[in-house]
A and B are shown apart, each in its own frame.
Chain A
Amino acid sequence: MTVILPLLFLLTAISGTAVVLVRDPVRQVFAIAVNGLVLAILFDALQAPDVALSELTVGAAAVPLLFLVALMAVRTQPPEEKP
Chain B
Amino acid sequence: MSPRIRVALLALAGLILLPCAATVIAGLPPFGATIAQYGERINAITPEARHVANMVSAINFDLRGLDTLGEEFMLLAAITGTVVLLRGRRGEGNTEHAMRRPGRAVIPRSEAVVLACRIAGPLTALFGLYVVVHATVTPGGGFQGGVILASATLLIYLGEGYAGWRDAIHSHWLDAMEGGGALLFALCGLAPMLTGAAFMQNVLPLGTFRDLFSGGLMLVENLGVALAVTGGFTQLFLEFMEETRAADEPDEPGEESA
- Say yes or no: B139 contacts A49, CB within 8 Å: yes
- In the complex, how many angstroms separate the beta carbon of B84 from the nearest chain A beta carbon? 17
A-B pairs, top 9 by smallest CB distance, nearest first, are: A49-B139, A76-B99, A57-B147, A53-B144, A73-B243, A69-B240, A50-B56, A50-B139, A73-B244
Q: Is the interface of A mostly helix, strand, loop or mixed?
A: helix
Q: By the criterion CB–CB under 8 Å, are A76 and B144 in contact?
A: no
Task: How many A-B residue pairs have C-beta atoms within 8 angstroms? Tell me.
Answer: 55
> Which residues on B sit within 8 Å (CB–CB) of A66?
236-237, 240
B101 at the interface (CB under 8 A from A): yes
Asked if B150 CB lies within 8 Å of chain A CBs, one says yes
A-to-B contact residues, CB < 8 Å: 49-50, 52-54, 57-58, 61-62, 65-66, 69-70, 72-73, 75-77, 81, 83
Residue of B nearest to A66 (CB): B240
Question: B180 CB to closest chain A CB, in angstroms?
Answer: 21
Q: Does B154 contact A (CB under 8 A)?
A: yes
Q: Which of B139, B143, B147, B241 contacts A69 (CB 8 A)?
A: B241
In the complex, which residues 176-225 of chain B have their Cβ closer than 8 Å to any Cβ of chain A?
Answer: none
- Chain B binding surface SS class: helix
- Bound CA–CA A57/B147 (angstroms): 6
Interface centre among B100, B131, B147, B154 (most CB of A within 10 A): B147
| Chain B contact residue count (CB 8 A cutoff) | 24
Q: Chain B residues near A53 (CB, 8 Å)?
A: 131, 139-140, 144
Whether, in the assembled complex, B231 has its beta carbon less than 8 Å from a beta carbon of chain A, the answer is: no
Instruction: Report chain A residues within 8 Å CB of B139.
Output: 49-50, 52-53
Q: Decide: A57 and B101 in contact? CB cutoff 8 A.
A: no
Q: Contact at B243–A70, with CB atoms within 8 Å?
A: yes
The answer to whether B233 has its CB under 8 Å from any CB of chain A is yes
Q: Identify which of residues 113-172 in chain B touch chain A, using a CB-to-CB cut-off of 8 Å.
A: 131, 139-141, 143-144, 147-148, 150-151, 154
Q: Is the CB of B148 within 8 A of A57?
A: yes
How far in angstroms is the closest Cβ of chain B from A51?
8
